[in-house]
Amino acid sequence: MQMNNGSKRQVSFNDPVVRALLFQILIVAAVVTMGWTLYQNTYTNLVHRGITSGFAFLENSAGFGVAQHLISYKEADSYARVFVIGLLNTLLVTLIGVILATILGFIVGVSRLSKNWIIAKLATVYVEVFRNIPPLLQILFWYFAVFLTMPGPRSSHNFGDIFFVSSRGLNMPAAQIADGFWAFVVSVVMAIVTIVLMCRWANKRFEATGVPFHKFWVGLALLLVIPALCALIFGAPLHWEMPTLQGFNFIGGWVLIPELLALTLALTVYTAAFIAEIVRSGIKSVSHGQTEAAHSLGLRNGPTLRKVIIPQALRVIIPPLTSQYLNLAKNSSLAAGIGYPEMVSLFAGTVLNQTGQAIEVIAITMSVYLAISISISLLMNWYNKRIALIER
């Protein structure tokens, strides 16, 4: 009897390979058809509405003012420049937010595990209050109920004649490059190079002889002493320009607009609540046996924490921390609610309304966020891979 094998196999719907192929062809066909229909519809709609598609509009002059721009900007500048300003503002908020939220989140997360009852309870209250209130509501609250109700510049809150908080935002001294600046930069680089060399030498000696060296304290001393000496010889690296009240507003110094303050404050407070939970679960995931083992090897509390607990906890903390950073970057788009000039409110809001180029503007905005998301996750994946457990 001859088997009905491979070469003579009939094409039948009961064959899983055939069926899989058929399914996939169907799916791809469906996706392509849908894309084509969408394209056709959009094309006819655009033609009927008389909208010319394409990115030529980016060259046109914008003609409106922007409240905060990190690079120079005039009303006559192009939409492309407006886009860059919005992008830079988004990145600024994300960067400040990530740094502050990480610091605050780690402090709160460790506090929740504190043996001090009242500190632990306070941290719990913080987490439970702030992670259960929508971020947009927090932004609106800080903006409309806190910063806009502050007194005007003439009766602003004064912090030691250096910082002034008013309804116009936070006025602070501006750093300006002085005579000793470049010498100072060179001295800092020199200090860092010295520290690296010192660490190498100390590690080599420790491995060879077992004699420890106070790397941290010596390094700190080097980092302080070398630049300080340099500043003494060549003069101060920076000159501080103080804000002064003139008429109804401050002159000189840097000013952080209230929109930026409200946005970063709200995002920091909101994200820190989540980071605190991540940190807490990360530290709790390292079993107590690890601490005991480290102690029994003769490590004291500090080295136990630095060399045993934290490296293991970080492995658990990093992946969810990444997604919190991504959330923060995406939540920065909530600035549209208070009109801080970042990507969404500036570009997808004002520029879209002025030009009517809906498809191009939304596509650019979405791809920017996709690019930010993908690059943050690539960076964190690389870091995660570096510190991940190498199983043998």
Judged by beta carbon, residue 24 or residue 244, the one nearer another protein is 24
Strand boundaries in the chain, DSSP class E: 157-159, 163-166, 169-172, 174-177, 238-241, 244-246, 249-251, 254-256
**What is the closest distance, in whole angstroms, from the C-beta atom of residue 67 to another protein in the complex?**
19
Q: In the complex, what is the shortest distance from the CB of residue 352 to another protein, in angstroms, rounded to a whole number? A: 7
Q: Rounded to the nearest whole angstrom, what is the least distance from the CB of residue 370 to another protein in the complex?
A: 4
Among 124, 194, 373, 384, binds another protein (CB under 8 A): 373
Residue 362 touches another protein, criterion: CB under 8 A: yes
Please identify which residue in 119, 192, 202, 242 interacts with another protein, judged by CB under 8 A.
119
Q: Does 122 bind another protein (CB under 8 A)?
A: yes
Nearest approach, Cβ of residue 186 and another protein (Å): 40
Task: Name the residue nearer to another protein (CB basis): 41 or 61.
Answer: 41
Q: How far is the C-alpha of 318 from the C-alpha of 387, rounded, in Å?
A: 9
Q: Whose Cβ is closer to another protein: residue 176's or residue 375's?
A: 375
Token digits of residue 85:
């300003």
Which amino acid is present at 169? Answer: G
Instruction: By CB under 8 A, tell whether 388 contacts another protein.
Output: no
The answer to whether 379 contacts another protein (rule: CB under 8 A) is no
- Rounded distance between C-alpha atoms, residue 354 and residue 83, angstroms: 14
Q: Residue 27 interacts with another protein (CB under 8 A)?
A: yes
Please tell me whether residue 135 binds another protein under the rule CB under 8 A: yes
Residue 118 touching another protein (CB under 8 A): yes
DSSP 187-226: HHHHHHHHHHHHHHHHHHHHHHH-----HHHHHHHHHHHH
Here the tokens at position 110 are: 């460790």
Q: Which of 188, 222, 308, 296 is nearest to 213 (CA)?
A: 222
Rounded-to-integer distance, Cα 301 and Cα 120, Å: 20
Paired sense of beta strands 169-172 and 254-256, if any: antiparallel
**Span interacting with another protein, options 72-80, 101-109, 279-287, 329-337, rule CB under 8 A:** 329-337
Contact 318, 278 (CB under 8 A): no
Q: Which of residues 75-104 bind another protein (CB under 8 A)?
A: none
Between 136 and 155, how does the x/- string for binding to another protein read (CB under 8 A)? xxx-xx--xx--xx------
Is the four-CA dihedral 175, 176, 180, 181 of positive or negative sign? positive
Q: Which stretch binds another protein (CB under 8 A): 19-27, 102-110, 188-196, 245-253?
A: 19-27
* 3-class state of residue 175 by DSSP: strand
The number of residues that bind another protein (CB under 8 A) is 55
- Residue 165's φ and ψ, nearest 5 degrees, are -110, 120
Q: Which two tokens stand for residue 391?
A: 């199983």
- Residue 359 binding another protein, by CB under 8 A: yes
- What residues have CB less than 8 Å from 30, skipping those under 6 apart? none
Binds another protein (CB under 8 A): choice among 171, 271, 331, 350: 331
Residues at the interface with another protein (CB under 8 A): 20, 23-25, 27-28, 31, 38, 41-42, 44-46, 48, 114-119, 122, 128-129, 131-138, 140-141, 144-145, 148-149, 330-331, 333-334, 336-337, 344, 348, 352, 358-359, 362, 365-366, 369-370, 373-374
